[in-house]
Amino acid sequence: MTFTTQRLALRARTDDDLDDLLALWNNTQVQPMLHSHPFAPMGPKARKDIGEWLDGCVFGSIVTLCATDSESVSSATAPATANTITNANATSEETQKPKDKGGAFMGFLALSIQEPKNRDASVHIALLPQYWGGGYAKEALTFLVDHAFRWLGVHRVSLVVYGSNVRAIGLYERLGFVVEGRKREALWMDNKWEDSVSMGVLRREWAAKYWEDQS
């Protein structure tokens, strides 16, 4: 099964994706946004763990470019990582050509639920730096949040973002997320303390914003 948006294809991961996923985690611009563990190279064991983590999510997908959009990728500033945590200070001018997988590997998109009875899902997304700033993260997140509410019975969707990442916070607010809390100086990154900002959106808020019947 593959879901498609205007420019993206979201499909299940295969073992062929593990090298791409490990390379994504080892990208020096991406890894600090994916977790709060020490910033260090990740080896073969992590390759297996990443695949198992993605498989364990209630929704886990590889993000690729649709064929019609895989020939031209604009470079820009602004991050497309938002897992859990994002940073808006990196830039890249790289481009990537499509692979023989139905489109160029861009990254992953996932939804996890820690406690099913609470129906509170956490969104995870990470894209390669060459896809930052092109609107791909917004496109992917809009699909996933809508899918979570329509099909997965989720009551709310949550995420955490660096307090200094005002661009990402602005994106999430435009999507419908609201700031729910700020944990001051909770994250150490690049020789400074960062605030951890919690954001969330409820099903009824999403319905009022995007669904005509507001069901």
| Catalytic center residues | 172
- Look at residues 56, 48, 66 and name the one whose alpha carbon lies nearest to residue 11: 66
CA 127/CA 24 separation, integer angstroms: 8
Query: Which one, of 194, 189, 113, 190, lies nearest residue 157 by Cα?
Result: 113
Residues 141, 139: Cα–Cα separation, whole Å: 6
Backbone angles phi, psi at 79, to 5 degrees: -85, 155
The backbone torsions φ and ψ at residue 63, rounded to the nearest 5 degrees and listed phi first, read -95, 125
What is the separation of C-alpha 136 from the centre of its chain, rounded to a whole number of angstroms?
A: 10
* Torsion sign, CA atoms 136, 112, 88, 38: negative
Please give the helix or strand (H or E) that residue 164 lies within, else none: none
